[in-house]
């Protein structure tokens, strides 16, 4: 148990936790935007609907990565000052 507490106290794991927490609301916003776009594009071509769905999934892949690096740069800036 002692090793688990030491591991969880490491800053990388804290950043991962905050990243996952932020992704909850970010993913919900992307899903909401996709749902509204999907409804408005119901009469569009299948290729366009597929493109919007793929873009939404790629955005959901990129958001946690960008959030992690943003939080990491904030921590580094706070440590430097």
Instruction: Please state, in angstroms and as integers, the Cα–Cα distance from residue 73 to each residue in 5, 17, 24, 27, 60, following that order.
Output: 24, 16, 21, 22, 21
pTM: 0.83
**Which residues of the chain have a pLDDT value below 50?**
none
Q: Report d(CA 35, CA 37) in Å as an integer.
A: 5
User: How many CA atoms lie within 13 Å of 42's alpha carbon, on the beta-carbon side?
Assistant: 4
């Amino acid at each position: 148990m002692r090793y688990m507490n030491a591991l969880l106290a490491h800053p990388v794991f804290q950043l991962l936790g905050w990243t996952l927490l932020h992704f909850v609301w970010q993913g919900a916003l992307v899903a909401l935007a996709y749902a509204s776009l999907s409804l408005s594009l119901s009469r569009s071509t299948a290729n366009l609907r597929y493109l919007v769905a793929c873009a939404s999934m790629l955005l959901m892949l990129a958001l946690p990565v960008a959030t992690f690096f943003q939080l990491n740069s904030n921590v580094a800036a706070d440590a430097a000052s």
